[in-house]
Structure 1
């Protein structure tokens, strides 16, 4: 009986250690993965965000709208960002959102997803991939749902696009493990006015739970109705850099490829039923 009481805690601690090791394997052996994503291809990305990331040798994912004038006007700068290791992600050609939903007064008839067909949505997204490849020469990237909208008339328009992307980022909050991560709708935390402490606390939670944390930013220090203070953003970056031994910070395409490999390996080792 005494032997049982002595051995049981040892077995439990060993099991927890193995589980933690399996979770961190997905994150390059580190405690967690953190991905910094920036939507809408705005001037602030090139003027403030990329210089801030480059100064600390951190890399992020920038979701470009194919029709954005900032893409056309500053194409060379986007190309340089990609050459430095940042991901240029796909945020569709026209950033269509479902205008029938509450709070969508900003949606115009031209970019109302509810008036699209699935074929049109797929075609515009693939056209944006062609544009992005012309900029960065890459064929592997991720997609971000404009406004988080995923369906047209009840049909998920991403289904025909699964082979076009490594993964797609949604807008729902969550800190998934590699096994839990839904590569068709990756969870993220949208930042709009929150403090540096709030963002750093999220990173600490991810470290403790060995999970994936994706940040969603728009404006940084201005430039968008959804915004985060530039100093708060800078404090987050400095925290990530100071703890880079324990935190894997990478573009979403790289993290998603790692997650996909882990999930495929796990599925292959699962016993047949």
Structure 2
């Protein structure tokens, strides 16, 4: 009960933080929802893109440049970008900090704790070159592999801020536009939750005039972190049915809107 009361109070405080200002940042709607999909896996193209296209919704796909699914299905990724989906940068090799607990899956070659900052930056920039060759765009966003921000205590993204509109992290939370940290945007990682849970998050965002970012991996299989196809489709149907109140757009567009509203920060041309 106490936990529920604290959550309600937090949402009310967030809603009180300039709803008109947030509404203008959300394309004059009540809230913004960004659908992000990590790791460049087959189900992105087999399940997710067709589902999004069927509802005329657009998402952000964070691609690992070294993924065989990128190499094998380049024309399909290019076609998805041409239909308005964002191809985001999830690093060339998806390095994660293997020194942290529970990171037995990290190989020595891809252990971020053994990287130098310059190596991490170079690999991310190399992936940008690859992505630009696929979609012809220069404006895009980044997603931290495993949500890891630092190498030896140094935030490597500090050297990449001019390369991206924004970066997405893995910390959960709803935020109004002025509260959003464009170097580490909040997101809700989804793994097995129901369609009702997903829709309830959207309803909270509507009430509090905030940004809601979903972080998906597998959709209908294909990854250890997974959401049921029906639950995902239930979410898309709700978003489509309430599109007069909810702005659903790729991360690069939403982040550019937030950035444009920040004083002293030049707008980023979306090309």
TM-score, normalised to structure 1, is: 0.90
Structure 1 residue 21: deviation in Å?
A: 1.7
Structure 1 residue 265: deviation in Å?
A: 6.3
Which residue is 1:111 aligned to? 110
Which residue is 1:270 aligned to? none
Structure 1 residue 263: deviation in Å?
A: 1.4
SS in 1 for 2:37: strand
Which residue is 1:248 aligned to? 247
Which residue is 2:135 aligned to? 136
Q: Distance in 1 between matches of 2:17 and 2:45?
A: 42
Q: 1:175-224 CA deviation, whole Å, 9 max, x = no partner?
A: 01000000000000000000011110000000000000000000000000
1:17–1:191: structure 2 CA closer, same or farther, 3 Å change rule? closer
Which residue is 1:187 aligned to? 186
Determine whether 1:222 maps to 2:221. Answer: yes
Q: 1:51-96 CA deviation, whole Å, 9 max, x = no partner?
A: 0000000000000000000000000000000000000000000000
Determine whether 1:34 maps to 2:49. Answer: no
1:180–1:220: structure 2 CA closer, same or farther, 3 Å change rule? same
Structure 1 residue 20: deviation in Å?
A: 2.3
SS in 2 for 1:120: helix
Q: Distance in 2 between matches of 1:54 and 1:95?
A: 27
SS in 2 for 1:114: helix
Which residue is 2:144 aligned to? 145
Which residue is 2:196 aligned to? 197
Counting only pairs closer than 5 Å after superposition, residues 1-273 of structure 1 correspond to structure 2 as 19-264=18-263
1:18–1:179: structure 2 CA closer, same or farther, 3 Å change rule? closer
Give 1 or 2 for the bigger CA radius of gyration: 1
Question: Which sections of structure 2, spanning at least 5 residues, go unmatched?
Answer: 1-14, 267-271
1:266–1:253: structure 2 CA closer, same or farther, 3 Å change rule? closer
Which residue is 1:9 aligned to? none
Question: Which sections of structure 1, spanning at least 5 residues, go unmatched?
Answer: 1-15, 268-273
TM-score, normalised to structure 2, is: 0.91
Structure 1 residue 17: deviation in Å?
A: 9.4
Q: Distance in 2 between matches of 1:237 and 1:254?
A: 19
Structure 1 residue 117: deviation in Å?
A: 0.1
Structure 1 residue 22: deviation in Å?
A: 1.8
Q: Distance in 2 between matches of 1:207 and 1:176?
A: 11
1:60–1:248: structure 2 CA closer, same or farther, 3 Å change rule? same
Q: 1:230-273 CA deviation, whole Å, 9 max, x = no partner?
A: 00000000000000000000000000000001113699xxxxxx
Q: Distance in 1 between matches of 2:221 and 2:119?
A: 33
Q: Distance in 1 between matches of 2:247 and 2:69?
A: 30
